[in-house]
Amino acid sequence: MDASKKIHVINNQQLKQLADLPKHESRLALAKALHMKEFDEEDDLRSSIIADFHYNNMIYAVDKGLPWSIVNVFVMLAKDILEQSAGKTLPQSLTIFKRKLSEIANCSNKLNIQHLIDHMLQTYYQHYQLYQYVTSENQKEERTKLKLDIEPVLSNPVAFSSGIPLEKWEYNRDISAIEKAERERRDKRTVKRIVAEKQTTKDVNRPFEKYESNDECLTEENIADLIAEAASAYVTAFKDRLIENIEESRENLEYRLSKAARGPPPKSAKISNGRVIKLDAHTKQSLRVKMSVIY
């Protein structure tokens, strides 16, 4: 079997497409094509260095103008050497390198093989101990992960000179939320009341509609029925309105209690230069002691 076919795992056309991508995308796509697991660039430095190794090998072969089949061979051969040399001494790795070169001797000319040899000697074997450390030593995890809530930046931030203390800002926010909820409640009740009034008008007029096109004179019994139906519609509407008024009074009371529970606006001590100073209990006590000593 042809040695080049044994070493290929990436389609030549696919490799050409990878080389045409921007560096970051090409790096990750090549790593995926070489069956590397997905990795975090910051946390997994080993995988990041290995991905750089594969990408640099590919770009070197492409820049030398080698055929895509030879670029493919170059990338896969370097991958095999990196993996099979893990934990090996330099002489053992060079023996592996020589064996791999003999396997591809028939699928490439001497110039291409010389490019491969030069590149591997000047990069991988020049830093052999570093690559050994990367592929053989487990990476120590020295990182701290925190979950933080990021507040969005205000589109129109208020100037510091017009800022207010946090306690007052929180008070205004809470009061605004309570008042907004009250306005929404009133708007809903207004709409509901308008709909109810229209429905009451329809209910009261409905008994009369069946006689509008009738030229016959109304009898005393007909009049009594009309009055009874109209009165029933009014009574039903009055009952619903009474229930609605009671519910509205209850919600008005809850609204006032909500505002009362929040208490009065916080007070801040102001000095002549306009800065706001809020003293805690310990500081206030210390000042009292010092003042008593002075006087």
Length of the chain: 295
Q: What digits encode the pLDDT tens for the residues 127-148?
A: 999 888 888 877 666 666 778 8
Consecutive H or E run containing 269: strand 269-270
Residue 155: is its pLDDT beyond 60?
yes
Q: What are the pLDDT digits (tens) for 213-231?
A: 665 666 777 777 777 877 7
Give the Cα separation of 131 and 37 in Å (integer): 19
Give the pair of three-digit tokens for residue 18. Answer: 């990878």
How far apart CA 265 and CA 164 sit, in angstroms, is 12
Indicate if the pLDDT at residue 289 is higher than 70.
Answer: no
Sign, CA dihedral 159-165-170-171, equals: negative
C-alpha–C-alpha distance, residues 252 and 258, integer Å:
10
Per-residue pLDDT at 4? 43
- In angstroms, the CA 121 to CA 94 distance is 10
Q: Which of 203, 178, 189 is nearest to 260 (CA)?
A: 178
Q: 26-46: per-residue pLDDT in tens?
A: 989 988 888 888 888 777 888
| Helix (H) or strand (E) segment spanning residue 277 | strand 276-277
* Distance linking the first and last C-alpha atoms of the chain: 106
Confidence of residue 54 (pLDDT cuts 50, 70, 90): very high
pTM of the model: 0.47
Predicted confidence at residue 42, as pLDDT, reads 77
Tell me 137's DSSP state.
Answer: S
Average pLDDT over the chain, rounded to whole?
Answer: 79
Query: pLDDT by residue (tens digit) across 188-201?
Result: 888 888 888 888 88
Average pLDDT score over residue span 72-101:
90
Query: What is the spatial distance between Cα 62 and Cα 68, in angstroms, rounded to a whole number?
Result: 8
Cα dist from 99 to 80, 95, 169, 205, 237, whole Å: 11, 6, 75, 104, 99
pLDDT at 288 over 70: no
Mapped to the 3 state alphabet, what secondary structure does 74-120 carry? Answer: HHHHHHHHHHHCCCCCHHHHHHHHHHHHHHHHHHCCHHHHHHHHHHH
Provide the token pair at 260.
């009362």
